[in-house]
Amino acid sequence: MPVKGNQFKSNNFKDTGSAKGSVKAEKPSRPKVESVPSFGLKDGRIIKVGGLFFLVLSGYFLIAFTSYLFTWQEDQSYVLKANGGWHNLFKGQQELIDNGIKSPVDNWLGKFGALLSNQFMFEWFGVASFIFVVVFFIIGYRFLFKVRLFPISKTIAYALFGIVFFSIAIGFVHGFIVDYPHFLEGQFGFWSNRLIDAQIGRAGAAGLLVFAALTFLIIVYNIDFKLPEKKRPATTLPGFDDADDISEPYMGGGNVPIMPEMPFTPVEWPGRKSKLSQEGVLASTRYAENEVSEELEPVAKGPIFNVEKPINEPEHKPVTLMPEPSTETEIPLMVSDTRPNDVLSIEKEDLVTADDLVAQFGAFDPRLDLSSYKFPVLELLENYGSNKIAVNTEELEANKNKIVETLNHYNIEIDKIKATIGPTVTLYEIIPAPGVRISKIKNLEDDIALSLAALGIRIIAPMPGKGTIGIEVPNQHPEMVSMRSVLASEKFQATTMDLPIALGKTISNEIFIADLAKMPHLLMAGATGQGKSVGINAILVSLLYKKHPAELKFVLVDPKKVELTLFRKIERHFLAKLPDEADAIITDTKKVINTLNSLCIEMDQRYDLLKDAQVRNLKEYNAKFINRKLLPTEGHRFLPFIVLIVDEFADLMMTAGKEVEIPIARLAQLARAIGIHLIIATQRPSVNIITGTIKANFPARIAFRVQSKIDSRTILDSGGADQLIGRGDMLLSTGNDLIRLQCAFVDTPEVDKISDFIGAQRGYATAHLLPEYVGEGGEASAKDFDSENRDPMFEEAARLIVMHQQGSTSLIQRKLKLGYNRAGRIIDQLEAAGIVGPFEGSKAREVLIPDDYSLEQFLSNMDAKD
Ligand SMILES: Nc1ncnc2c1ncn2[C@@H]1O[C@H](COP(=O)(O)OP(=O)(O)OP(=O)(O)O)[C@@H](O)[C@H]1O
């Protein structure tokens, strides 16, 4: 019976051991977490002490609370508020006895234990107080051993809910038994119940508790409430659990699952039936020549297809499934008919091929996990403008005349002039008379602009591949290109590109769609307010309209914090993040560095997978995976495209410099084949932001209007971007070509609607998790600082550096007359001590201490510590 579905989940892949199922899945060791705050003590000793304290506290609470369960009645007189409560701690033995208070107390942790547990359990939260024990343990364990059992913030949040919920819930149940405050629910549980009861009654309270519990479950586990579906008959191969049933993955080691088609009929041997059935055993296929007669003995117990020896082993002659006619003519042929099938199907499990798997289970469907996902509909987008180019013949004629006049004025004769009308600009192509120098026309750019009285004139001389000279003149009434019109176009709907991005319309009013997968990375620059954010949104929206969440993940970096927030709603569908991160949209520079490094790890892992699969790129890899030629049991997984978008790269470069540049450059150099693509936008396209390394690896670049020709050169390697008219007017450079485009316009409310549309659908349990990256952080260098081996000239060098406010090795070398190596060593020590900043390429290091006075204090502190 054919079984549909993937039979296993690539995303939830668990190592299920070999097909035979003998190997148990290895439990991954707990991740080491280095990112614990150190509270100033750089080697983290305070944290360890804190960790120890929490562990002891947890143990103390556990013993005190447990003891309270048994001794609360005996200790009641001691802990009672009316008898003094906590004040009893300071009373003498005799005084207590005189007041009729029982002393000593029975709590295993003495008076304090009795008072503490009374406070928590009786006065506050009842037995729910045990949750404190767990919380303290998790915090202590994390701080002391640096091992994350659970995320601390989540633990605290869940614990708070748990304490309140259980206290009230127990109080509610207790209310049916005894109407008296008791240590099971604590005063909190008791009085909360009283309050709720008075307001909404018992039934209301019950409803409220159920509501709270379900809300908690939904928030934490995102459980779906579905009516039970009809179960498909489960036919599974080892290692492949049914796609709908991930609760019980095959863990190997059990029985080989039975194919339902297999006939399970015992073989009936004529004349021996009674004996065999009496013995309760079934005959095997194996019987040797000498066993064919009456001594024929069954050699294997169990079902018919559990053959002891495979039939195709050459040395076993009698393995032929047809009984030998000369000796056993009476054996019916049906025996051999039944058996080979059974035997063969068992054999096949070892030699299972990709084709068999595909035949049996169908090709792997990456979309199956979210099979009900609906792509956003076009109705979510607005229609701006008429989407038709209104030809203003007067304007055309006037412009033509002015161009011809201006050129004539400079004695440039033209043969022909032709106009192509675009949404925002019109291209006039002129064919100059023979003998006219092109450079002459190019030099007249400003004059033509003056005569046309228009901004943003661009002269393309010559038009590549056309033999004409182009003059682009902005239209008086530019037409807005709505995203809806672009996405609704046949061109976009029918595209087979891997990552189609609908950028807008060309000058000849054609829809322009590019393939990000081929670009393979994109650099965007433009002065503020010229349409960069709209451009990024247009790219994101076009990808969202074409790709399923299983096929594409975004890593969004938004140092400006407000530009990409709208996409937060699609976190569980389309975003990727670091495992520990609460927020999928990264706004903090430090986290950006970790994420970029994590992407580098992902890249390396993907390359290993590709190498293992002997394919050259992501497409081939995924095709092989879909055809089940690569198995999750061997560590393979379906690889979605990852698109990293950085809005405001300049900010990152200013704050983190090399730390950001190096991983970005690495990704840009290598990530194209493995489906990681970068889109980097910046307001300031200066050379120290868009460095040579970055530029070299971003062949595709988009320039919106920039402020100067120099900026235009930095981004496009040619002028022109400074002459754009803004509002989405842009130039796209793809290596050789420079194309002028009008960016499609998509407004924030539209993006909001799209995010809502996707976000409201069932998503994955979390955002796509990137590999964990443990940053080295600043602590490592501090640890490296060894005060014992400090150079004798260390202090002098420090004074010199601070005096000059210039952290340079050559300064030390020159002024202190030291060799280069020694000066280099000293500067490293200064860095380790925190006097100068890290190496910054050709620039001098930053000096972290402002003046001599602060330095002297710093040095004396250092000496005191030593
Ligand atoms: N493709 C477009 N079509 C029409 N108008 C546009 C287009 N792109 C941008 N605009 C107009 O320009 C304004 C500014 O655009 P946008 O917010 O994208 O600029 P920006 O370059 O991202 O600015 P900043 O860097 O300050 O965020 C938009 O509000 C819109 O009115």
The model's pLDDT over 122-147, given as tens digits with 9 standing for 90+, comes to 888 888 899 999 999 988 888 888 77
Residue nearest to atom 10 of ligand 1 (CA): 727
Q: Smallest Cα–Cα separation from 103: which of 119, 90, 116? A: 90
Round to whole Å and give the CA distance between 602 and 642: 10
Higher pLDDT, 417 or 448: 417
Provide the pLDDT for residue 41.
53
Largest CA distance in the chain: 124
**CA 232 from chain center: how many Å?**
32
In ligand 1, the atom with minimum distance to the C-alpha of 743 is 1
Instruction: Name residue 382's amino acid.
Output: E
Provide the pLDDT for residue 282.
36
Q: Is 532 annotated as a binding residue?
A: yes
CA of 753 to the centre of ligand 1 (A): 19
Res. 755 pLDDT band, cuts 50 70 90: very high
Round to whole Å and give the CA distance between 290 and 294: 10
Contact criterion met (CB below 8 Å) for 184 and 127 = yes
Q: Is 70 exceeded by the pLDDT of residue 494? A: yes
Beta carbons within 8 Å of 566's beta carbon, 6+ residues apart? 748, 751, 752, 755
Whether cis (ω within 30° of 0) applies to the bond prior to 104 is yes
CA of 591 to the centre of ligand 1 (A): 28
Provide the pLDDT for residue 68.
87
CA of 536 to the centre of ligand 1 (A): 10
Residue nearest to atom 6 of ligand 1 (CA): 727
Contacts 24+ apart (CB under 8 A), 359-362: 360/2, 360/3, 360/237, 361/3, 361/4, 361/5, 361/6, 361/7, 361/237, 361/240, 361/628, 362/2, 362/3, 362/4, 362/5
CA of 709 to the centre of ligand 1 (A): 21
The model's pLDDT over 704-747, given as tens digits with 9 standing for 90+, comes to 999 888 888 888 888 888 888 888 999 999 877 788 999 999 99
Among the residue ranges 31-35, 199-203, 560-564, 729-733, the one predicted with the least confidence is 31-35
Res. 315 pLDDT band, cuts 50 70 90: very low
What percent of the chain shows pLDDT beyond 70? Answer: 75
Residue nearest to atom 28 of ligand 1 (CA): 531
Mean pLDDT of 498-515: 91
Instruction: Assign 266 to helix, strand or coil.
Output: coil
Q: Is 90 exceeded by the pLDDT of residue 539? A: yes
Ligand 1 pocket test: which of 485, 528, 530, 729 has the largest number of ligand atoms within 8 Å of its C-beta? 530
What b/e readout covers 530-565, taking b as 16+ CB neighbours within 10 angstroms?
bbbbbbbbbbbbbbbbbbbbbbbbbbbbbbeeebbe
Beta carbons within 8 Å of 466's beta carbon, 6+ residues apart? 429
Residue nearest to atom 15 of ligand 1 (CA): 531
Q: Is 90 exceeded by the pLDDT of residue 243? A: no
End-to-end CA distance of the chain: 77
CA of 746 to the centre of ligand 1 (A): 10
Q: What are phi and psi of 289, to 5 degrees?
A: -55, -45
Q: Is 533 annotated as a binding residue?
A: yes
Round to whole Å and give the CA distance between 269 and 856: 102
Round to whole Å and give the CA distance between 288 and 296: 9
Residue nearest to atom 4 of ligand 1 (CA): 727
The model's pLDDT over 756-769, given as tens digits with 9 standing for 90+, comes to 999 999 888 888 88
Q: Is 657 annotated as a binding residue?
A: no
In ligand 1, the atom with minimum distance to the C-alpha of 560 is 27
Q: Smallest Cα–Cα separation from 370: which of 763, 765, 769, 4? A: 763
Beta carbons within 8 Å of 717's beta carbon, 6+ residues apart? 733
Round to whole Å and give the CA distance between 104 and 97: 9
Prediction ipTM score? 0.96
Mean pLDDT of 830-855: 82
Q: Is 80 exceeded by the pLDDT of residue 513? A: yes
CA of 467 to the centre of ligand 1 (A): 35
Q: Is 80 exceeded by the pLDDT of residue 88? A: no
In ligand 1, the atom with minimum distance to the C-alpha of 648 is 25
Q: Smallest Cα–Cα separation from 597: which of 662, 682, 508? A: 662
Provide the pLDDT for residue 858.
84
Contacts 24+ apart (CB under 8 A), 213-220: 213/165, 216/161, 216/165, 220/158
CA of 545 to the centre of ligand 1 (A): 21
Residue nearest to atom 30 of ligand 1 (CA): 727
Stated as kind and residue range, the H or E segment containing 680 is strand 676-682
Q: Is 252 annotated as a binding residue?
A: no
Provide the pLDDT for residue 226.
62
Provide the pLDDT for residue 290.
38
CA of 700 to the centre of ligand 1 (A): 21
Query: Where in 308-404 does DSSP place strands (E)?
Result: none
CA of 607 to the centre of ligand 1 (A): 38
In ligand 1, the atom with minimum distance to the C-alpha of 683 is 25
Q: What are phi and psi of 547, to 5 degrees?
A: -110, 145
In ligand 1, the atom with minimum distance to the C-alpha of 527 is 21
Q: Is 273 annotated as a binding residue?
A: no
Domains of the chain: 45-221 (no CATH), 238-348 (no CATH), 393-474 (3.30.980.40), 518-769 (3.40.50.300), 785-865 (1.10.10.10)
Q: Is 60 exceeded by the pLDDT of residue 860? A: yes
In ligand 1, the atom with minimum distance to the C-alpha of 530 is 21
Q: Is 50 exceeded by the pLDDT of residue 560? A: yes
Q: Is 60 exceeded by the pLDDT of residue 822? A: yes
Residue nearest to atom 12 of ligand 1 (CA): 727
Contacts 24+ apart (CB under 8 A), 662-668: 663/593, 663/596, 663/597, 663/599, 663/600, 664/596, 664/694, 665/693, 665/694, 665/697, 666/600, 666/603, 667/596, 667/599, 667/600, 667/603, 668/521, 668/694, 668/697, 668/698
Q: Is 50 exceeded by the pLDDT of residue 631? A: yes
Query: What is the DSSP secondary structure assignment for residue 480, as one 8-state letter?
Result: P
The structure tokens 């390697």 sit at: 717
Residue nearest to atom 16 of ligand 1 (CA): 531
Q: Is 50 exceeded by the pLDDT of residue 154? A: yes
Q: How far is CA 523 from CA 643, 663, 729, in A?
A: 13, 16, 16
CA of 728 to the centre of ligand 1 (A): 6
Provide the pLDDT for residue 350.
40
Res. 326 pLDDT band, cuts 50 70 90: very low
Mean pLDDT value across the chain = 75
CA of 529 to the centre of ligand 1 (A): 5
* Residue 204: how many other CB atoms lie within 10 Å: 12
Provide the pLDDT for residue 40.
53
In ligand 1, the atom with minimum distance to the C-alpha of 504 is 1
Beta carbons within 8 Å of 426's beta carbon, 6+ residues apart? 396, 399, 419, 420, 472, 473, 474, 475
The model's pLDDT over 169-184, given as tens digits with 9 standing for 90+, comes to 888 887 777 656 577 8
Q: Is 206 annotated as a binding residue?
A: no
Round to whole Å and give the CA distance between 72 and 441: 100
Which residues face 700 on adjacent strands? 522, 734
Q: Smallest Cα–Cα separation from 105: which of 133, 80, 82? A: 80
Round to whole Å and give the CA distance between 163 and 129: 7
Mean pLDDT of 681-694: 85
In ligand 1, the atom with minimum distance to the C-alpha of 536 is 18
Q: How far is CA 302 from CA 75, 237, 257, 279, 617, in A?
A: 66, 21, 15, 12, 49
Provide the pLDDT for residue 396.
87
In ligand 1, the atom with minimum distance to the C-alpha of 481 is 3
Round to whole Å and give the CA distance between 555 and 671: 14
In ligand 1, the atom with minimum distance to the C-alpha of 729 is 1
Q: Is 175 annotated as a binding residue?
A: no
Query: What is the DSSP secondary structure assignment for residue 109, as one 8-state letter?
Result: T
In ligand 1, the atom with minimum distance to the C-alpha of 538 is 1
Provide the pLDDT for residue 21.
39
In ligand 1, the atom with minimum distance to the C-alpha of 704 is 21
Ligand 1 pocket test: which of 475, 477, 727, 742 has the largest number of ligand atoms within 8 Å of its C-beta? 727
* Residue 445, Cβ density class (10 Å: 0-12 exposed, 13-18 middle, ≥19 buried): middle
Q: Is 90 exceeded by the pLDDT of residue 556? A: yes
Contact criterion met (CB below 8 Å) for 763 and 755 = no
**CA 325 from chain center: how many Å?**
67
Residue nearest to atom 11 of ligand 1 (CA): 727
Q: Smallest Cα–Cα separation from 121: which of 188, 179, 191? A: 188
β 700-703/676-682 pair status: unpaired
Provide the pLDDT for residue 251.
37
Stated as kind and residue range, the H or E segment containing 131 is helix 130-145
Q: Is 823 annotated as a binding residue?
A: no
Most confident of 338-347, 405-414, 703-712: 703-712
The DSSP line for 687-704 is TTTS-HHHHHT--EEEE-
CA of 503 to the centre of ligand 1 (A): 14
Round to whole Å and give the CA distance between 431 and 449: 19
CA of 123 to the centre of ligand 1 (A): 60
CA of 485 to the centre of ligand 1 (A): 18
Contact criterion met (CB below 8 Å) for 644 and 587 = no
CA of 522 to the centre of ligand 1 (A): 18
CA of 584 to the centre of ligand 1 (A): 25
Round to whole Å and give the CA distance between 149 and 146: 9
- Assigned token pair, 663: 């991983």
Q: How far is CA 45 from CA 41, 69, 81, 691, in A?
A: 7, 36, 40, 41
Provide the pLDDT for residue 786.
65
Q: Smallest Cα–Cα separation from 38: which of 782, 779, 592? A: 779
Among the residue ranges 4-8, 404-408, 465-469, the one predicted with the least confidence is 4-8
CA of 679 to the centre of ligand 1 (A): 17
Q: How far is CA 234 from CA 3, 237, 359, 801, in A?
A: 8, 10, 16, 74
Q: What are phi and psi of 695, to 5 degrees?
A: -60, -45
Residue nearest to atom 31 of ligand 1 (CA): 727
> Which residue ranges have their beta carbon within 6 Å of ligand 1?
480, 526, 528-534, 683, 727-728, 743, 745
Res. 8 pLDDT band, cuts 50 70 90: very low
Ligand 1 pocket test: which of 534, 541, 684, 724 has the largest number of ligand atoms within 8 Å of its C-beta? 534
What percent of the chain shows pLDDT beyond 90? Answer: 17
Round to whole Å and give the CA distance between 721 and 444: 18
Beta carbons within 8 Å of 369's beta carbon, 6+ residues apart? 9, 11, 243, 550, 764
Round to whole Å and give the CA distance between 744 and 536: 10
The model's pLDDT over 26-39, given as tens digits with 9 standing for 90+, comes to 444 454 444 555 55
The DSSP line for 513-579 is EEETTTS--EEEE--TTSSHHHHHHHHHHHHHHH--TTTEEEEEE-TTSSSSGGGGGGHHHHBEE-T
Ligand 1 pocket test: which of 479, 533, 707, 711 has the largest number of ligand atoms within 8 Å of its C-beta? 533
In ligand 1, the atom with minimum distance to the C-alpha of 537 is 18
Residue nearest to atom 14 of ligand 1 (CA): 529
The model's pLDDT over 664-673, given as tens digits with 9 standing for 90+, comes to 988 988 888 8
Most confident of 97-101, 228-232, 276-280, 310-314: 97-101
β 522-525/700-703 pair status: parallel
Q: Positive or negative, the Cα torsion across 381, 385, 390, 392? A: negative
